[in-house]
Chain A
Amino acid sequence: MIKIKELHKSFGPLEVLKGIDLHIKPGEVVVIIGPSGSGKSTLLRCINRLEETTSGTIIVDGYDINDTSTNINFIRSETGMVFQQFNLFPHMTALRNVTLGPVKVRKVSRTEANKIGMELLVRVGLEDKANAYPDQLSGGQKQRVAIARSLALNPKVMLFDEPTSALDPELVGEVLEVMKTLATDGMTMVVVSHEMGFAREVADRAIFMDDGVVVEENTPETFFMRPQNERTKAFLRMVL
């Protein structure tokens, strides 16, 4: 589903990604952890080209995303992204947030879009908040609307960039629940998160990134119980 080869990314003189190779199979759930500044967000943002790659190739669903003949808007619509800060559209109701993509990108009729939107809001447990504006929602509710907004385009892959780290602790669970259901339903997911419980329960693979490279990857069980690399061990000691 995603094939990343020799990915390098620099911001000016600062090299943030120093040669990443990563293959993600359809239906796979991959959790990425690593210290702040290690390039986790940058990696995710390269996958849907919110950042231009400096060199290397990224193939998503068979399309080389940096190829000029690839319709990047189409690829983006097939690649959902959930942000740490939610980034809901504050001038639209929850339902409108969810239906904007179907209406403007998929050119679905308003009635049809509302139907899709309501189904998704039911799926994330927010059908009663359809007409609420983002500033009337809690953080957890906002993030669930944001997930529904991405799902509305029927993406093949979902990217999550620390989806729960801006939330109050008591609101983390409801978002993780939605993500777990998604994973169980077979969604391909790349999740940057330090939620070990989530990783161990639903991830197929855990990856440790440090200083722009993948230092270690393994099944969550082995990764958390018997980390091989010294840097991984040190980091896990710190966050667990």
Chain B
Amino acid sequence: MSHTEIKKIKAIDIVKLARHTKRPTTLDYIGFIIKDFIELHGDRRFSDDKAIVGGIGFLENIAVTVIGHQKGRNVKENIRRNFGMANPEGYRKALRLMEEAERFGRPIINFIDTPGAYPGIGAEERGQAEAIAYNLYKMSTLRTPIISIVTGEGGSGGALAISIADRIYMLSNTIYSVISPEGCASILWKDAGKADAAAESLKLTAKDLFYFKIIDGIIEEPGNGAHEDHESTAKQIKSTLISTLNELLLIEPSTLIDQRYQKYRKMGVFSE
């Protein structure tokens, strides 16, 4: 690096890392972090959406509920997981599990990694918008601590729908955005190929979100990224979860949900 400039990392490169097919998935993290994990299924309304997984187990000695988007690592798995894009029943399953967590006094841990909510005919027929809205509504007052971690792509409403939390973290090579760079480029410049420029403009990296006070911290990934070392990435996440939970478990429920309301209440930039 002596005679070359240290290049600023481009947003699109982080987008690529965030989507890297060898990154750990939610079930990988659960394997490393959660003991006695039991996966639970179904929304009790329509079906079991495989794009979102959830269940119960122990983080060290604390009983927790864990929920997350689930991507596949190859085409076959991805078709089964719908590339981590949930239908309404996925968000409804997540909410069902979260309400169980509240009922039995378990903290909730959410792993966020989705291109977005699935845009399909059935999804619209069964109320994709309602499913997302209702999660935002209910999660705002769940009387149990919630921690969300963006582990890959935080794709718009589909990510937000299971990410309302008391503390939000992002891994260092992840993104969280209102729209995908490709979607943004095709709307703005009628050219999905200009995703590079859109990624830059959208300010969607972990650093950007920390700057805008949307997230509470960044969890550094090892080496060139989480895909290179699943286990030590999981270890980093685990230690963040434990220290954060130890702090949140001391807060009584009404204070907790009041602080959660204020957290989101402050988001936004305007003049008056």
| A and B found bound together | no
